[in-house]
Amino acid sequence: MVRTLQGRVIFVLHAQTDCNGVYPDITKEGIETLKSSAHMIRGFLSCDLNGNSNVIIEASPMTMTMGSAAIIASMIGYEGKVREEPSMQESITKARKKRFFKYLSKIVRCLLAEQQPFLNFICVTHYETLYHLVEDLFKDYAEDKRLSYGEIIVFSIFDIGIENVNVVEMEVTFREKTINGKFFDYKEQEIY
């Protein structure tokens, strides 16, 4: 089986917030955290950011996530517009997981359809979305360990080269641990 790296999806937990709803709604400590996150993100980006043609930044429409995304964009030299992604809004319902997988499916389809060789998505979202994702993928992740503001989870997406199969392979990196051999069925919207 030949696999080809199509791109990366870098999920970022928003920074510490003042909870005042005033843009960018990020504390001074939050800005410092985002500096560290931006440095790590730069390490994952495959190409130079000249022209930003290989990077797309999206965020939940909430002030704290849009503000965090704008700060990261500035720190990595991104010149494009941060796009609002309503499916990344925080939710405590069962629909959250379904929305997340629908969003991931949309990104995978975009990566597979792109004419350029590689694309990086950076998505700033909320605690609940990322916590349950980590909990599902990293079975040994202790429940008492909280996610930190600005924490990142990186999905490397590979086309496995089998025609008429709606599956990609993923490597998922979280806290310096990488899980290989996860598959995502982007039609059925499931990870296995």
18-68 tens-digit pLDDT: 888 899 999 999 999 999 999 999 888 855 555 556 899 999 999 999 999
Q: What is the pLDDT, as a whole number, of residue 89?
A: 76
Q: What is the CATH number of the domain that holds 138?
A: 3.40.50.1240
Instruction: Count the domains in the chain.
Output: 1
Domain containing 138 equals 4-191
What is this structure's pTM? 0.91
The proportion of the chain whose per-residue pLDDT surpasses 90, expressed as a percent, equals 58
Question: Could you give the 3-state DSSP secondary structure of residue 186?
Answer: coil
Q: Which helix (H) or strand (E) holds 181?
A: strand 177-185
Residue 48: is it exposed, middle or buried by C-beta count within 10 angstroms (0-12/13-18/19+)? Answer: exposed
Q: What are the pLDDT digits (tens) for 117-160?
A: 678 999 999 998 888 888 888 877 655 578 999 999 999 999 99
Six token digits for residue 188 = 């059925």
Mean pLDDT for the chain overall: 88
The rounded distance, in Å, linking the Cα atoms of 101 and 60 is: 15
Q: How far apart are CA 172 and CA 192, in angstroms?
A: 12
Segment 88-115 mean pLDDT: 82
